[in-house]
Amino acid sequence: MTNLVQVEQLYRFYGDHCAVEDVTFTLEKGEILGFLGPNGAGKTSTMQMICGNLAPTSGQILINGIDVLDRPKEAKRELGYLPEVPPLYRELNVDEFLAYCAKLHGIARPRVKQAVDQAKERCGLEDAGDRLIGNLSKGYQQRVGIAQAILHIPAVIILDEPTVGLDPIQIREIRELIRELGKEHGVILSTHILPEVQESCTHVQIIHHGQLVLKDTIQGLEQQMRASSIVLATRNPVDATLMEALPGVHSVEPLDENRWRIFHDKNINPAEHLAEIAVASGWGLLQLIPERRTMEQIFIDITQQALPHAEATV
């Protein structure tokens, strides 16, 4: 499968400060990549370099096989971009604005109407063509912003915080639109909203201190979120040393009277053995509940524990 985006050993220095260090990744058609990072991690610099708005200190960026540095105009034709604040002209109606953007994208005059109609259809704007952009809801303005990004049918679509400020219904609609776009394009979604990645993306990567500290599929991330601790509740007191001796158990922590948290290897679940011991020892088993890590916990763990020059690929 052809890589729509290929980033190789990307570096960016600001004076002596290395903002992006040895970043390498690819994006293929049908993939939606969630790009995460704390403030100052190097995410914005990386995105600007991919878009051709910032020159890398070293490294290579190919967009649909075209080198961004050697052939910038050709490479940018393969990109559709929606910034965090959509570049909309509020005094124009939707048709006027999209026709203007079509010309900026270099679409031939005879094809402008067709391109506008197709973009409106894909973004759910068929009935909004004659409405002033300034009178549209925030959700529909986001749709117009996405429509201008896909007018020229680019190979790669880059979306920067596409659901910020939207209500829950609008967020659901935009997420569904992103998933639809991901079927025909490669999509990079830059966001600070962690549930956004879980709901919309097929892959995720986290950048921290300029380095990629995690690259994984959403399925792989879900595996990380599987239970690595169990809460045990009993009617009678328990023997903690028996629990600590079970295979895979790292430690046990008392919570309150006759309630314990058991930390274990994520690949070895001691629940069955715990139940057997509880019954055999007469502890009076009341509850045995697996706990799940949230994506927020994983993000915080990775960004707090990541060591320089170390990448976690799981």
% of the chain beyond a pLDDT of 70: 95
Same domain, 71 and 167: yes
What's the domain range around 259? 227-291
Same domain, 125 and 166: yes
Same domain, 148 and 248: no
User: What is residue 114's predicted lDDT score, i.e. its pLDDT?
Assistant: 96
User: What is residue 275's predicted lDDT score, i.e. its pLDDT?
Assistant: 94
Give the CATH number of the domain where residue 191 resides: 3.40.50.300
Same domain, 183 and 282: no
Alpha-carbon 128 to chain mean position: 30
Pick the last residue of a domain from 223, 240, 271.
Answer: 223
Please report, for residues 97, 164, 264, 300, the alpha-carbon distance to residue 187 in angstroms, rounded to integers and kept in the order given.
23, 18, 37, 25
Same domain, 27 and 137: yes
User: What is residue 194's predicted lDDT score, i.e. its pLDDT?
Assistant: 82
Same domain, 231 and 93: no
Is residue 309 pLDDT above 70, yes or no?
Answer: no
Same domain, 194 and 231: no
Is residue 308 pLDDT above 60, yes or no?
Answer: no
The residue with greater pLDDT, 40 or 154, is: 154
User: What is residue 23's predicted lDDT score, i.e. its pLDDT?
Assistant: 96
pTM listed for this prediction: 0.78
**What is the pLDDT averaged over residues 188-199?**
87
Residue 60 confidence class, pLDDT cut points 50, 70, 90: very high
Asked whether residue 44 is domain-assigned, the answer is: yes
First to last CA, the chain: 22
Same domain, 94 and 240: no
Asked whether residue 20 is domain-assigned, the answer is: yes
Cα separation, 221 vs 205, whole angstroms: 10
In this structure, the strands spanning 58-63 and 66-67 are antiparallel
Same domain, 188 and 44: yes
| Model confidence pLDDT, tens digit, residues 98-147 | 999 999 999 999 999 999 999 999 999 999 999 999 999 999 999 999 99
Cα separation, 131 vs 133, whole angstroms: 6
Handedness of CA 101, 105, 111, 114 (dihedral sign): negative
User: What is residue 28's predicted lDDT score, i.e. its pLDDT?
Assistant: 95
Same domain, 188 and 259: no
Asked whether residue 259 is domain-assigned, the answer is: yes
Give the CATH number of the domain where residue 241 resides: 3.30.70.100
**What is the pLDDT averaged over residues 82-93?**
92
**What is the pLDDT averaged over residues 20-42?**
93
Is residue 228 pLDDT above 60, yes or no?
Answer: yes
Same domain, 216 and 247: no
Cα separation, 57 vs 60, whole angstroms: 10
Pick the last residue of a domain from 185, 204, 223.
Answer: 223
The residue with greater pLDDT, 193 or 270, is: 270
Pick the last residue of a domain from 175, 208, 223.
Answer: 223
Same domain, 51 and 86: yes
Domain count of the fold of the chain? 2
Cα separation, 139 vs 133, whole angstroms: 11
**What letter would DSSP give residue 132?**
B
User: What is residue 76's predicted lDDT score, i.e. its pLDDT?
Assistant: 93
Asked whether residue 309 is domain-assigned, the answer is: no
